A and B are shown apart, each in its own frame.
Chain A
């Protein structure tokens, strides 16, 4: 299932990656090369096969429902590009 230029632009937007118009053709070629490569999977008979959900069988671990960590707002914000008064700052999202 090769992708066209419009699909490349749509995927880029879904992935939140800005793509310049002159990159589209190149990206389209690369994505189609990968999609053509994985196309071989269509010849495998997967009738009745369970999709893998966990590569090693293991029980989900349980822990007591208590606070184990906290009170570290400064540490959490220490790498933020923009913060103010204990909050992350983002461009305005609500008019």
Chain B
């Protein structure tokens, strides 16, 4: 770790403009850090040549005074985003050699604004998982370890590589995707800031599709300000995605440091779970206290259908996944395993190309959409989803500006601890985050403290549709009070 990798994104941006160091130096420092951190398995592809090329172009633009908002900033990109000419795999064997000829809109926006790609990050296969253990490239090892132990922990998932890379200071920020918590849960488990924007805020074009009505891209960073800077570049209208909102993107950085005085913060009683560790409860209360001290008002609210969000999610999400993943047929791209006839080829290709969790979800999705079961499962789940969204609408209609909850039901767990034969154990990790995807709302995970073993814990702020700005204001208050948390380097 050196001085340049310890900077925040905002400080690095300012330093580049003041010519205190060059984009080339900043990139070189991060490439070195990435290389020295291979034990974490956070990257599935390092792109040092591309990074140096991009940094050189940044220095030329900086010299001409044409710097973009992210000029010269080294970033990592989750391997769910297609990057032109750079292998993009979704961490699945079925896409192991896939080299897209096009660029996702979100990453194209980042390069437009001057960012530098240092590599593609590891994630759960097709983003299906909460621990990064379903990746065909193997698990990411969290840079965090319990105090006085060397148990390998999960960084969370599915965007585990992005979270680990940001926490370990291998890059100044990273992209993630969040379908049920895949940005906010790993952010919470690694002491980083993660934002899932409102559905439609970021274009989904060029992102490997998992569950299209739930997927959203968002940033990871080490500070709320840095996440705000990144989201402004990532977001925006896109004619290539019909579900991408035609709304102007505010300058989110302006919201950081804005007063939260008089804001009304809902505290949903249904998020108080039986058997939740006392530390989570204490942290939640502490977070409320910090917001109150900053002038916000805390109000107990009720979201009565909360407990049905996870079961409804495990119908809607696999159903959409089974439909989206039908495209992996061994014909147009990806792996192909020959069989006797075309059906045997499809079946052999998909059996060899998809890992266990993906096969399981595709099968569940196929079942709930199949003739005779559609009404009982899928239609009912979509009705429950309406009720979940109405819960939030009613709370916001009462003048609540944002909702405060824990981000996860526990701190990071050990690799292998929850990947046994009962899939539900892993699914329960997303109990606080999945509701937000079901309702399409923005959610921000902010580090708020450490547990007794010295592991990070996060709080979640849920906002009104397209009001990410208020979340950045509130998140900054929590960050100011809680401080920053960095893992001790062992790698």
Contact = CB atoms under 8 A, between A and B. Distances in A.
B362 A79 contact: no
Contacts of B363: 8, 11-12, 15, 17, 27, 31
A86 to B, nearest CB: 13
Interface in A29-88: 29-31, 33-35, 37-42, 44, 46, 49-56, 58, 60-61, 63, 72, 75-76, 78-82, 88
Interface residues of B, number: 77
Q: What DSSP secondary structure best describes chain B's contact surface?
A: helix
Nearest to B427: A37
A34 B386 contact: no
Given A31-B363, A50-B386, A55-B389, A16 B346 contact: yes
B305 A90 contact: no
Contact of B370 (A11, A35, A39, A54): A11
A5 interface: no
Q: What DSSP secondary structure best describes chain A's contact surface?
A: loop
Given A46-B383, A55-B438, A88-B331, 12 more contacts: A15-B362, A18-B351, A33-B422, A37-B314, A40-B308, A52-B383, A55-B213, A55-B385, A56-B199, A78-B99, A88-B332, A90-B331
B87 to A, nearest CB: 11
Given A17-B363, A38-B311, A44 B333 contact: no
Interface stretch (B372-380, B397-405, B475-483): B372-380
Interface of A: 1, 3, 7-8, 11-19, 26-27, 29-31, 33-35, 37-42, 44, 46, 49-56, 58, 60-61, 63, 72, 75-76, 78-82, 88, 90-93
B351 A19 contact: yes
Contacts of A42: 380
B376 A1 contact: yes
A24 B465 CA distance: 44
Contact of A11 (B305, B344, B366, B382): B366
Contact of A16 (B307, B343, B383, B384): B343
B330 interface: yes
Given A56-B465, A81-B330, A15 B350 contact: yes
Closest 9 CB pairs of A and B: A55-B440, A51-B382, A79-B333, A81-B336, A18-B351, A18-B347, A46-B383, A16-B346, A15-B366
B166 to A, nearest CB: 28
B49 interface: no
Nearest to B318: A34
A37 B310 CA distance: 9
B125 interface: no
11 contacts: A1-B373, A16-B329, A16-B350, A31-B363, A33-B423, A38-B311, A44-B380, A52-B386, A56-B198, A79-B99, A80-B332
